[in-house]
Amino acid sequence: MKTVLYNSQTGKTFGKIYENGYTVDGKPQPVDPPIYELEYIQTPAPVITSDQVSSSVWVADLNIKTYTLTWTVRDKTDEEKTAEVNAEASMKETTLNATEVNSALRLTVDTLPEEDQINYVSTYPAWKVGIAVVVNEKYQYKDILYKVVQSHTTQLDWPPDLVPALFVRVAAPEEIPVWVQPTGAHDAYNIGDKVHFPTINDPVYESVINANVWSPTAYPAGWKLV
C-alpha cells in the first residue's frame, strides 16, 4: 500500500508527498486544508462473462481515510454486442489465411498447361530435405519449377537440379534447355526436342529420333543442327 493526498474540494488526488507539501503538475505546492492523506487501496478487477462489461472509479472515504478502486459490472447493451460482432466479422474478412489462399490458387494453377504453370512457381511447395515425394508432384527449387519423375524421399545431395533421374524441370515451350544426360525412357529426348549443346551459349540441336539418350557428339545421327 501507499498513500496519496486528496483534495475534498476539487476531488483530485496528488502523487508524491513532500515533507512540507504536495505536487501539482510536478511542482511542489504548500499544504493547505482541506487536504487529506489517504490509504491507497488497489482492488482486483472482477471476473466477468463475455456479455458483461466492467468499469472502475476511485472512491475516497474521508471517515476511514481510504482511497479505493471501486468496480461496477453491467450487461452489455445490444448496441455494444452488435458493434463487437460486426468488428469481429470485418476483421475476419480482412485477415487472409495464407495456406488456404495458396491452396485455392493451386487448384486453378494445376488446371493450366505446364508451360503456363511456370508463371506461378511460388504457389507450389518448396523442395525440402526429408520429405516423401510422388511421381508428377511439382516443387519449386531456386525459383524454378520441377516435376517428380520417380517417387523417393528427398536427400541433401539429391537436389532437383542435379538429379535428372528424380526430377525434370518444367519449362516453357520456347525455352530451350541445355542437353542433360537422360537416365531412362522417362527423360529421354524425342523427335522435335531441342537442346543447347554442350552449354547454354552453344548451338541448338533438334532430336530426329525418339527415345534419344545420346548426346549430339555421341550419336550425331540422332540430332540435327538447327
62 domain-assigned: yes
**Looking at the chain, which runs of residues are DSSP E strands?**
2-7, 12-14, 17-18, 21-24, 27-30, 35-41, 52-61, 66-75, 132-133, 138-141, 144-148, 152-153, 167-169, 194-196, 204-207, 223-225
Residue for grid cell 505546492: 29
Beta bridge partners of residue 55, listed in sequence order: 72
H or E stretch including 105?
helix 98-109
How many domains does one find in the chain? Answer: 3
Q: How far apart are CA 127 and CA 120, in angstroms?
A: 15
User: Which domain range does residue 68 map to?
Assistant: 2-75
Q: Which of 12, 46, 75 is the last residue of a domain?
A: 75
Average pLDDT value for residue range 66-87 = 94
Share of the chain above pLDDT 90, in %: 56
Does the pLDDT value for residue 147 go beyond 70?
Answer: yes
Q: 167-195, pLDDT tens digit by residue?
A: 988 987 777 889 989 888 888 999 999 99
Does the pLDDT value for residue 15 go beyond 80?
Answer: no
87 domain-assigned: no
Does the pLDDT value for residue 119 go beyond 80?
Answer: yes
Which CATH number does the domain housing residue 108 bear?
Answer: 2.10.10.20
